[in-house]
Structure 1
Amino acid sequence: MDLPPRASSPGRLTFRDATGRPGTGGHPTHRTRHREEYDMTATTTRTEDATELAELRERINRIDAELIRLWRERSQISKEVGRLRMASGGTRLVLSRERQICDRFREALGEDGTQLALLLLRAGRGPL
């Protein structure tokens, strides 16, 4: 009785007989059938993985585009808030408000959230 093929190196199959010794694998039709089943399964899996990878990357690209759009929108709104505040006699920035924003981002995202909040704030008001 033949055992299924084992991969001995990438892209190469070694057939073993019932004793586990390398051999011809029995009847030639069985060798061909095993190779085709192995190749078809491997090819299908690689194709499915490549398709899934491409779909996930496309999804990331769409999210990135939305993040960039939101970043720019937030920056413009923040600049307008600053203009209105200064036009009414207020200060260029309100530290208590910036602290609230940093705290909210840190609570949601950890320390990386704090860094993200600082970048967002800088994009809206400019460097300190």
Structure 2
Amino acid sequence: MMTDVAEQNGSRAEAGGAGGSVDPRTGTQEPMAAARIAEIRQRIDEIDQALIELWQERAQLSQQVGATRMASGGTRLVLSREQEILERFRSALGADGTQFALLLLRAGRGPL
């Protein structure tokens, strides 16, 4: 997939033709578009950082739940809870949501 993106970017750069060179950071030669892309990417980077922090917090909390449950004689997993989480993410995000939820669950409890 990454090759496809690189090839597309390369094709567009070549198609840019006369009038200026394509900025390799933004993929455009138009200054206003490049500025807008940089602005949007800054917000994307902020969201990515928030997602990383939330991911880490969620994993820690999930690990605490599991440790508390097992320390009290409970099971390592509660499958009904995992199904509830999977369904929540699938309903909101479709098939990608299911994959995302599986990764979240794994981060909190470890691999099965």
Report the TM-score when normalising by structure 1. 0.66
Counterpart of 1:97 in structure 2 is 81
SS, match of residue 76 in structure 2: coil
Counterpart of 1:107 in structure 2 is 91
Counterpart of 1:87 in structure 2 is 71
Give structure 1 stretches of 5+ with no counterpart. Answer: 1-8, 12-44
Counterpart of 1:10 in structure 2 is 18
Question: Partner letter of residue 62 of structure 2?
Answer: S
SS, match of residue 93 in structure 1: coil
Number of aligned positions between the proteins: 87
Give the whole-Å Cα distance in 1 for the aligned partners of 2:59 and 2:18.
Answer: 52
Instruction: Specify which of 55, 58, 74 is matched with residue 71 of structure 1.
Output: 55
Aligned-pair distance for 1:10?
A: 2.4
Aligned-pair distance for 1:61?
A: 0.5
Q: Compare the two structures and name the one with the higher helix fraction.
A: 2
Give the whole-Å Cα distance in 1 for the aligned partners of 2:97 and 2:78.
Answer: 20
CA RMSD in angstroms comes to 1.3
The percent identity for this pair of structures is: 64
Aligned-pair distance for 1:46?
A: 1.5
Residues 55-88 of structure 1, C-alpha deviations (whole Å, 9 max, x = no match):
0111110000000000000000000000000011
Q: Deviation above 3 Å: which 4+ runs of structure 1?
A: none
- 1:123 partnered with 2:69: no
Question: Partner letter of residue 10 of structure 1?
Answer: A
SS, match of residue 104 in structure 1: helix
Counterpart of 2:35 in structure 1 is 51
Give structure 2 stretches of 5+ with no counterpart. Answer: 1-16, 20-28
Counterpart of 2:7 in structure 1 is none
SS, match of residue 127 in structure 1: coil
Counterpart of 1:42 in structure 2 is none
Higher relative contact order (CA 8 A, sep 6+): 2
